[in-house]
Amino acid sequence: MKQTLNDVHQQFAEFFPGKVLAPFVYLLSKKLSEGHICLNIDLLADELEGLPVNYQKIIENDKEKLVYEQLVTDENGLQPFILHNRRLYLERYFAYETKILNGILTLIKNGEPLIAGRCATLLTNCELINDLFKGNFSQDEIDWQMAGVLVGVINNFTIITGGPGTGKTTTLAKLLAVLYTIEPNIRVALAAPTGKAAMRMAESLQSARIDAPESVVNRIKALEPVTLHRLLKSVPNSTQFRHNAENPLPEDVIVIDEASMVDVALFAKLMEAVGPHTRLIFLGDKNQLASVEAGSMLGDLCQFEPIINTVPQETAIVLNAVLKLPAAKQSHPLAGHIIELKKSHRFSDTSEIGNLSHAILAGQIEAIKPGSDVTIDHNFNHHLLAAFFAGFETYINEGDITQALQKLNSQRILCAVWEGEQGVTHLNTLVEEYLKSKKLIRITSDFYENRPIMVSRNYYDLGLFNGDTGIIRPDENGNLKAWFSDGKGGVRDVLPHYISEVQTVFAMTIHKSQGSEYDRVLILLPEKGGERLLTRELLYTAVTRAKNSVTIQASHEVMRTTVITSVQRASGIFERFIQSSSTNLNLQ
């Protein structure tokens, strides 16, 4: 029997004429749906299973002919497909990657002549730097937060990466203190990919301890982080922004938090909109899950470990008087631009959650151990579920809405998938059944009293953003309203019919939980389905949402496969950086 595929990828593949093109476009389309932006044509051995024999033969025997296909070109042509460095791209994604590459190289190049002068200025401000870091300055050990500040001050392009609680926001606060002191007239913009992440950035900055003059601290605390869409000014009903290459952002310093969540299209549009002499600073966790959309730019840029936490030889020499930083052994345009913070100030070295997250990232299944804060259940024990569900009773029993919101957000069920026994939909139903059995909720309508909701799109007019969570409760007249935090310690209400796109949120996907934290987290990995999703980055992201305790329900086999599987997102940007050099730019 002739094997056929007959799926959306095949329809896409066969839309384009070409003798050898179809199987490669089929796989490219599949890769795009999994979040990759290109197809490495030399790494296809694992992709052949399930493909029709004629597709397999072409992939195995004819890949060298791909370059001769009429619709395929290298970087300079105008065809729908680009074959570059043995990676096949849709032209649009190649263009995004090129814009990001050139944008970053331009910032690096324009910053280079300023480094010596900025280092000299830093030397005259040693006192401020010592004040900012007093208490954690040691001659023997490098203070990587201080390194992040110095690197961010002297360069025009910086990435500060680190796991949860490693002090990314604290480092940013200190970096801004130095910048406001040495360049008092600078204009600063802070942004994050989601409204929730922007709000958390604001809260963390407000509570950051900054030992700097009051006027400087006040300027930092007056900054209001916004969403990236708001920063770039979205054009209604369009994917374009008002800030672009022709109309760049006016700020001198632009900081993007939770940068791992920025997809390749938005990343490219940001790079276009950043003026060529701006200081651009990304904060984020390179090990976290990438964006839901295509691309994992932060992870891709931080791919090459040897250049992280090093600076070029010349910079090492001039910075020496303030902080001795290791000189990069290899010349690379990104060397000196990426600082990784490794010490968690939230989890101690003996923290079970901290150790669990390290074991997951290292792929060490044998190091994953239960303890008092970590429960690992391979048998999907119902008592554990019921005990967790009981935790939701507290927010319902809480009369004060502000407190109720806090209690709701103190625990969350995190699922890898939507469907199936361990999926979000089923878990939400189970919790509702549990609460109904306790007579704590009555599902009389869509917006029933005490329904926990999560907004699933941005409502700019209402100041509500994708990911915001609220509770349905009556107001003083008995009318049901949706109540949300106002970000200032209080609550505000919205009529439910203004927000049609919401989900029940006892349980949510791990993807959606990025950028949030809860005291207690229950993680469920599916027995069936989601195989291509289950990676150590997914589990790491879920585990690091927990502050105090984490329970994982997953079979032995699924847990093992998840921990040994790492996301290998295909993008060609790192190789293209190696091929470029900051002094030999190809800015077309």
Ligand X SMILES: Nc1ncnc2c1ncn2[C@@H]1O[C@H](COP(=O)(O)OP(=O)(O)OP(=O)(O)O)[C@@H](O)[C@H]1O
Residue 246: what are its φ and ψ, rounded to 5°?
A: -80, -25
**Of positions 324, 345, 528, 532, contacts ligand X by CB under 6 A:** 345
Task: Indicate the residue among 75 and 352 with the shorter CB distance to ligand X.
Answer: 352
Task: Indicate the residue among 471 and 543 with the shorter CB distance to ligand X.
Answer: 543
Q: Is 167 annotated among the ligand-binding residues?
A: yes
Q: Is 111 annotated among the ligand-binding residues?
A: no
Q: What's the rounded Cα separation, in Å, for the pair 370 and 512?
A: 26
What is the closest distance, in whole angstroms, from the C-beta atom of residue 53 to ligand X in the complex?
49
Contact between 161 and 302 under an 8 Å Cβ cutoff? The reply is yes
What is the closest distance, in whole angstroms, from the C-beta atom of residue 143 to ligand X in the complex?
8
Task: Indicate the residue among 172 and 431 with the shorter CB distance to ligand X.
Answer: 172
The amino acid present at 72, given as its one-letter code, is V
Q: Is 490 annotated among the ligand-binding residues?
A: no
The strands making up 452-455's β-sheet, listed across from edge to edge, are 491-494, 480-485, 469-474, 452-455, 502-504
170 binds ligand X (CB under 6 A): yes
Q: What's the rounded Cα separation, in Å, for the pair 269 and 272?
A: 5
Q: Is 166 annotated among the ligand-binding residues?
A: yes
What is the closest distance, in whole angstroms, from the C-beta atom of residue 174 to ligand X in the complex?
9
What is the closest distance, in whole angstroms, from the C-beta atom of residue 386 to ligand X in the complex?
30
- Please list the residues that pair with 81 across neighbouring strands: 72, 90
- Which residue's entry shows tokens 């994708």? 466
What is the closest distance, in whole angstroms, from the C-beta atom of residue 319 to ligand X in the complex?
20
User: What is the crossing angle of helices 21-33 and 8-15, to 10°?
Assistant: 140
Q: Is 284 annotated among the ligand-binding residues?
A: no
- Return all residues near 232 (Cβ < 8 A) that are at least 6 apart: 241, 242, 243, 249, 269, 270, 273
The amino acid present at 351, given as its one-letter code, is S
Task: Indicate the residue among 145 and 504 with the shorter CB distance to ligand X.
Answer: 145
Q: What's the rounded Cα separation, in Å, for the pair 209 and 207?
A: 6
Tokens of 414: 């995190």
**Of positions 29, 102, 106, 145, contacts ligand X by CB under 6 A:** 145
Interface map 476-515 toward ligand X (x if CB under 6 A): ----------------------------------------
Tokens of 227: 């969403």
Task: Indicate the residue among 10 and 169 with the shorter CB distance to ligand X.
Answer: 169
**Of positions 29, 169, 409, 535, contacts ligand X by CB under 6 A:** 169
- Please list the residues that pair with 374 across neighbouring strands: 550
What is the closest distance, in whole angstroms, from the C-beta atom of residue 151 to ligand X in the complex?
16
Task: Indicate the residue among 322 and 499 with the shorter CB distance to ligand X.
Answer: 322
Q: Which stretch binds ligand X (CB under 6 A): 28-36, 64-72, 157-165, 420-428?
A: 157-165
The amino acid present at 456, given as its one-letter code, is S
β strands within 307-410, DSSP E: 338-341, 374-377
Q: Which stretch binds ligand X (CB under 6 A): 8-16, 69-77, 85-93, 162-170?
A: 162-170
What is the closest distance, in whole angstroms, from the C-beta atom of residue 416 to ligand X in the complex?
21
Give the footprint of ligand X on residues 184-213 (CB under 6 A). 204
Contact between 208 and 173 under an 8 Å Cβ cutoff? The reply is yes
Task: Indicate the residue among 13 and 523 with the shorter CB distance to ligand X.
Answer: 523
Q: What's the rounded Cα separation, in Å, for the pair 369 and 542?
A: 16
Q: What's the rounded Cα separation, in Å, for the pair 80 and 77?
A: 9
Tokens of 382: 């119902």
What is the closest distance, in whole angstroms, from the C-beta atom of residue 111 to ligand X in the complex?
24
Q: What's the rounded Cα separation, in Å, for the pair 572 and 418?
A: 31
**Of positions 73, 166, 562, 580, contacts ligand X by CB under 6 A:** 166
Task: Indicate the residue among 169 and 485 with the shorter CB distance to ligand X.
Answer: 169
164 binds ligand X (CB under 6 A): yes
**Of positions 18, 167, 333, 470, contacts ligand X by CB under 6 A:** 167
Q: Is 171 annotated among the ligand-binding residues?
A: no
Nearest partner of 97 among 84, 86, 78, 110, judged by Cα: 84
Task: Indicate the residue among 148 and 312 with the shorter CB distance to ligand X.
Answer: 148
Q: Which stretch binds ligand X (CB under 6 A): 47-55, 163-171, 392-400, 437-445?
A: 163-171
Q: Which stretch binds ligand X (CB under 6 A): 160-168, 228-236, 264-272, 477-485?
A: 160-168
The amino acid present at 467, given as its one-letter code, is G
Task: Indicate the residue among 167 and 530 with the shorter CB distance to ligand X.
Answer: 167
Task: Indicate the residue among 298 and 554 with the shorter CB distance to ligand X.
Answer: 298
Interface map 271-310 toward ligand X (x if CB under 6 A): ----------------------------------------
Contact between 487 and 199 under an 8 Å Cβ cutoff? The reply is yes
Nearest partner of 75 among 96, 91, 58, 54, judged by Cα: 91
Q: What's the rounded Cα separation, in Å, for the pair 413 and 462?
A: 27
DSSP 461: G
Q: What's the rounded Cα separation, in Å, for the pair 319 and 316?
A: 5
Query: How many residues in the shown chain lie near ligand X by CB under 6 A?
Result: 13
**Of positions 36, 84, 99, 168, contacts ligand X by CB under 6 A:** 168
Interface map 117-136 toward ligand X (x if CB under 6 A): -------------------x
What is the closest distance, in whole angstroms, from the C-beta atom of residue 199 to ligand X in the complex?
12
- Which residue's entry shows tokens 């384009």? 16
Q: Which residues are annotated as a binding site for ATP?
A: 162-169
Instruction: Tell me which residues touch ligand X (CB under 6 A).
Output: 136, 145, 162, 164-170, 204, 345-346
